[in-house]
Amino acid sequence: MSTQPRKQPPPSLEVRGLAYAYPDGHQALFGVDLTVARGERVALLGPNGAGKTTLVLHLNGIHTAGAGSVTVAGLPVAKQHLAEIRRRVGIVFQDPDDQLFMPTVREDVAFGPATAGLRGAELEARVVAALTQVGMAEYADRPPHHLSFGQRRRVAVATVLAMEPEILVLDEPSSNLDPASRRELADILRALDVTVLMVTHDLPYAMELCPRAVILSEGVIAADGPTRELLGDAELLGAHRLELPFGFDPSAVPVPRGR
């Protein structure tokens, strides 16, 4: 590639040599390297226990790196920038009941921006915009526990979008969704204009949404490349306990719209 005269924006996410051991001594990450450019959608694949969730919890400083570093849009994840880092990295957890803790949907979506200091009309506009993006605007005054699971997952995405994050991180977003909700969520994610890192066991979903995929296995990045190529490599998948659903042929699927 020829050198660009104009300055590129810093990558949304840059992880360098990240290693981490849990307090009980169990080492979960052994030197992870991962760069995600601004606007990219990347799938993070890997078997149970590979360290995916552990990696995700490093991205907003819940865990502190044992060795190595994490940088979000040029800002290193460190104690003194935690508030700003948590605004930039939006994590959608696996169980929406953990994520939605306020009495009404509207207050829940407002929580993040209000913590960051937004008030009044500006706050209201942010909430409405986020709920509209996920098609849940008319549910604003409902309590979260009266919504269906798919609706709660969408609201969970909205709570994070309301913070206008640099990067959206989703931990298994398609789990427990029926096929229609799964597709609706995919449409929402595809329409968003943010960097996405998506942890998933749902390989066709990764293929549908993310042009690029990385495989995390036993605490290291084992493969990094176009999703179609990784999923077409039966040997690679087998080596890392990944399996395609019965009858699914990656080469027969049209390439997702890349960005």
| Residue 9, C-beta contacts closer than 8 angstroms, at least 6 positions apart | 38, 73
Residue 101: which of another protein, Mg ion, ligand ATP, none does it interact with, CB under 5 to 8 A by kind?
another protein
Shortest distance, CB of residue 57 to Mg ion, whole angstroms? 10
Which residue type occupies 19?
A
Range 229-255 burial, b when 16+ CB lie within 10 A, else e: ebbeeeebbeebebeeeeeeebeeeee
- Tell whether residue 28 is a contact of ligand ATP (CB under 6 A): yes
- Tell whether residue 53 is a contact of Mg ion (CB under 5 A): yes
Residue nearer to another protein on the CB measure, 101 or 248: 101
- Tell whether residue 54 is a contact of ligand ATP (CB under 6 A): yes
Q: Among 14, 43, 52, 139, which residue interacts with ligand ATP (rule: CB under 6 A)? A: 52
Residue nearer to another protein on the CB measure, 18 or 109: 109
> How far apart (Å, rounded) are the C-alpha atoms in residues 87 and 159?
11
Residue 50: which of Mg ion, another protein, ligand ATP, none does it interact with, CB under 5 to 8 A by kind?
ligand ATP
Residue nearer to ligand ATP on the CB measure, 53 or 133: 53
Residue nearer to ligand ATP on the CB measure, 26 or 79: 26
**Beta carbons of 173 and 202 less than 8 angstroms apart:** no
**Beta carbons of 55 and 198 less than 8 angstroms apart:** no
CA dihedral 52, 58, 62, 64 (to 10 degrees): 130
- Tell whether residue 53 is a contact of ligand ATP (CB under 6 A): yes
- Long-range CB pairs of 75-83 (<8 Å, 24+ gap) are 83/116
**Nearest CA among 39, 73, 193 for reference residue 129:** 193
> How far apart (Å, rounded) are the C-alpha atoms in residues 136 and 1?
44
Residue nearer to ligand ATP on the CB measure, 56 or 158: 56
Residue 62: which of another protein, ligand ATP, Mg ion, none does it interact with, CB under 5 to 8 A by kind?
another protein
Token pair, residue 82, equals 């935690």
- Tell whether residue 50 is a contact of ligand ATP (CB under 6 A): yes
**Among the residue ranges 20-28, 33-41, 161-169, 245-253, the one whose residues contact ligand ATP (CB under 6 A):** 20-28
Residues binding ligand ATP (CB under 6 A): 22, 24, 26, 28, 46, 48-54
Residues binding Mg ion (CB under 5 A): 53
